[in-house]
Structure 1
Amino acid sequence: MTVSKLVFTPLSYTGWGSLEYLTPEIEKHEAKRLLIVTDPLLQQIGLLDQVTSLLDSQQLPYTLYTDIVPEPPLETAEKLVHYTREGQFDLIIGVGGGSSLDLAKLAAVLAVHEGPVEEYLNLTGIRPITKKGLPKVLIPTTSGTGSEVTNIAVLSLDSSKDVVTHDYLLADAAIVDPALTVSLPPRVTAATGIDALTHAIEAYVSVNAGPTTDGLALQAIRLISRSLQKAATNGDDQAARTDMSHGSYIAGLAFFNAGVAGVHALAYPLGGQFHLPHGEANAVLLPYVMGYIRKSCTKRMADILNALGGNSSFLSEKEASYECVRRLELLVKDVGLPAVLGEYNIPVTALDQLTEDAHEQKRLLARSPLPLGEDEIRAIYQAAFDGVIAEPE
């Protein structure tokens, strides 16, 4: 019998208006020196005011750190960790998308460690994480990354990505308030939503999937698939925004425990080499990866089809798996995201290096239900370049 190990963030608040629980969490830790790690855009558009006004009303002093960029490079992380070590803060609040949240939890943990961030990387690091670090509260403003409930911080390197990962990176509390996502632009809503959908789908077909993650993944697929277009079209749709926030959160719980695989492994080099936003990199690859591995998980693909709103009752598993891939293709197009690599001006000459870098993502590829070596990875990239779903011989 297979044994599943399940790990979850100690405490979460979810639902419209849940931001109000931030001040009790700060008081619980008796924190006096707060550091808010956030994207500068959130400050510019006034979204951060919802957080800072709450702190101001309780006369809680804080410092803002906004030297954050999307798909953060190692240098950005190094600067933040140095700043946190020097500042002697006693609680970190991460506000924003995946980049801000990843950097916030990384800073909270490495603030009490020595040495550069580079030495803690998964693929090349030489130092272990040994201390829990500062308490941290994570508040997502997108519905996509699930970073608020994972133990991973993703960083961009020269041509790909690597992670720092340890259970000490888990938030002490996650606050998932859909009201904070209302001002998200349509394209960002679409990309982060497909990112969350990818988390759920890859968790469901992962070799590490189990009954608990299966339930989480399928519910996330249901919530996201029924609401993504609505949220992208009308950002003020409260029901759609709520579905997306809950779907992203639940997908995060699923993939944190079951893992993601081929889509993410191939997406990382697209972000590293061509600076594609992570959600868009996942979106442009999702139908092609799932089309390629389809034969290895037809029953689960049929289940995904049903969760997407389809009906496999009168289809064979093989037919249902094809229909599942077709629906994923349509969904990516319907929310206005590019469907082929050429739309990002990625040349065919880049596919060999992309393949080489993706093949190094052993941690992710190990979870694929179909083994993906260099030949298979190259075929998927070629399919995404040509716009034709490929399958293994």
Structure 2
Amino acid sequence: MWIKNHFLLIVNHYPKPAMPENLCGEPTVNLAENAIHSIGVLVRDFGAERVLLVVDEDAAHASGANRILTTALATCQATRFNDFELNPQFHDIERGIRQFQKTRPQIVIALGGGTAIDLGKLIGSIAVQPATAMDIVTGRVGITKCGPPLVAIPTTAGTGSEATQFAVAYVDQQKYSVSHKFLLPSHAIVDPSLTASLPPRITAATGLDAFCQAIESIWAVGATDESVGYAAAAVELAREHLVDAVVQPSPVSRMGMCQASHLSGKAINISKTTASHALSYGFTSQHKIPHGMAVAMTISRMLAHNAGVSDEDCMDPRGADHVRKRIELIMNLLGTAGVHEACVQLDTMITAIGCACSPARAGVGDAATLRKIVTSVNAERMSNNPRSADATTLMELLQSSPRTESFR
């Protein structure tokens, strides 16, 4: 509990609003119940007359944020960019850039889940770059200029996108990840009350994303002591609140998952994600399995795989003993005494919230499907996994049976 409480002090420390000349530095975070009501003051502090609102309309209406935003932006020329597909598609990014260039906003507000926030990052940044959107998204050219201030307002507790410098984009079903410090939002408003209207399935999918990326962050090759601290606190919070947030939601469980999501975002902003995320993208793009659920289908298998690390197959330059200590930390955070028990804990938590803990249980376990997933795996994310895994190993992991037992 010390880990969680220590890092919650960081989450709940709200620095003064950044001045315009410092917008591409560390973001200002307001994580609190009813924090959404601060948006009007924030916009006025920036003196913004023109605002681009990248908004998931369903989320805005269901969460009650739409009414608050309408009042807060009443004196501004506010342009809404909406009607975009789930998971950022390149044609939506291009459409948003055209709208940005037409209206020349002084501030961008992105409200919704990870899709809306990633679109806000990409549109606001790419619109001011000399290079083309395609060149930037596909990595041929990097970002060189800081865009206007971005206020990220998540309406789910999952991706932690408001705390990261990454954004995902899909071009013809091919997933690309854009990374640059200029994509990090200047401000984040994380309000648990905005998640109160979420249906259980979305709460489960987004919560699993936060939980799994925190676990991955701990064993990642790119992990540091700082990122492990954030990730460990996120795992503790998610373990305590995820099931309740889905099956018997309360303000306490919603707050806990918002904190877990934000901390996991801070963690992966340093460490990046690993094998479970690398495998997930094919399940999402090819089979429409929600991202967090797709990641969760392999998390226990990768825990077992990484626990068997040796000097011969260790990818972390700090060595196999270092990786084993990280795995031991995960087991301790899960309240388990061994790898098998930890895998049972993960699979039963996933099952308890109505999600599949294996590809087979999600209906995508046939060999042909899994081979296609393995061949499309994200090589960069795999290289960040602490233990190597070739195609044959990945197939074996994907086809292995889950471990479940009564959870609560």
Alignment TM-score, normalising by the size of structure 2: 0.85
- Per-residue deviation, 1:50: 4.5
- Per-residue deviation, 1:52: 1.6
Per the alignment, residue 17 of structure 2 pairs with none
Q: Secondary structure at the match of 2:159?
A: coil
> Residue type of the partner of 1:193?
G
Q: Does 1:24 align with 2:38?
A: no
Identity of aligned residues (%): 28
Tell me if structure 1 keeps the 8 A contact 2:109–2:153.
Answer: yes
For residues 59 and 23 of structure 1, the distance between their equivalents in structure 2, rounded to whole angstroms, comes to 10
For residues 118 and 278 of structure 1, the distance between their equivalents in structure 2, rounded to whole angstroms, comes to 24
The structure-2 alpha-carbon separation of the partners of 1:336 and 1:8, relative to structure 1 and needing over 3 Å to count, comes to: farther
Per the alignment, residue 114 of structure 2 pairs with 98
Aligned pairs for 1:4-153 (under 5 A) are 9-45=26-62, 47-56=64-73, 59-121=75-137, 124-153=138-167
Q: Deviations over 1:207-266 (max 9, x none)?
A: 12222111111111111110111111133x001101100111011101110111001000
For residues 100 and 223 of structure 1, the distance between their equivalents in structure 2, rounded to whole angstroms, comes to 25
Per the alignment, residue 180 of structure 2 pairs with 166
- Per-residue deviation, 1:53: 4.0
- Per-residue deviation, 1:324: 1.3
Q: Secondary structure at the match of 1:195?
A: helix
For residues 354 and 311 of structure 1, the distance between their equivalents in structure 2, rounded to whole angstroms, comes to 31
Aligned pairs for 1:229-244 (under 5 A) are 229-235=243-249, 237-244=250-257
Q: Secondary structure at the match of 2:156?
A: coil
The structure-2 alpha-carbon separation of the partners of 1:187 and 1:8, relative to structure 1 and needing over 3 Å to count, comes to: farther
Consecutive unaligned residues in structure 2, runs of 5 or more: 1-23, 310-322
Q: Secondary structure at the match of 2:167?
A: strand
Aligned pairs for 1:262-281 (under 5 A) are 262-281=275-294
Tell me if structure 2 keeps the 8 A contact 1:140–1:175.
Answer: yes
Q: CA RMSD in A?
A: 2.1
Q: Does 1:345 align with 2:371?
A: no
Per the alignment, residue 307 of structure 1 pairs with 333
> Residue type of the partner of 2:306?
I
The structure-2 alpha-carbon separation of the partners of 1:13 and 1:76, relative to structure 1 and needing over 3 Å to count, comes to: same
- Per-residue deviation, 1:150: 0.7
For residues 341 and 311 of structure 1, the distance between their equivalents in structure 2, rounded to whole angstroms, comes to 24
Q: Deviations over 1:325-377 (max 9, x none)?
A: 1111111101110123234432431222211110xx22211211101332332
Decide which moves more: 168-177 or 111-120. Answer: 111-120
Q: Secondary structure at the match of 2:259?
A: helix
Decide which moves more: 189-198 or 22-31. Answer: 22-31
The structure-2 alpha-carbon separation of the partners of 1:43 and 1:178, relative to structure 1 and needing over 3 Å to count, comes to: closer
Q: Does 1:354 align with 2:376?
A: no
Per the alignment, residue 208 of structure 2 pairs with 194
The structure-2 alpha-carbon separation of the partners of 1:240 and 1:207, relative to structure 1 and needing over 3 Å to count, comes to: same
Per the alignment, residue 240 of structure 2 pairs with 226
Q: Secondary structure at the match of 1:232?
A: helix
Per the alignment, residue 293 of structure 1 pairs with 306
For residues 71 and 333 of structure 2, the distance between their equivalents in structure 1, rounded to whole angstroms, comes to 38
For residues 254 and 330 of structure 2, the distance between their equivalents in structure 1, rounded to whole angstroms, comes to 22
- Per-residue deviation, 1:295: 1.6
Q: Deviations over 1:43-63 (max 9, x none)?
A: 45363325424415x634422
Consecutive unaligned residues in structure 1, runs of 5 or more: 1-6, 313-319
For residues 396 and 354 of structure 2, the distance between their equivalents in structure 1, rounded to whole angstroms, comes to 25
For residues 70 and 281 of structure 1, the distance between their equivalents in structure 2, rounded to whole angstroms, comes to 15
> Residue type of the partner of 1:286?
I
- Per-residue deviation, 1:10: 2.3
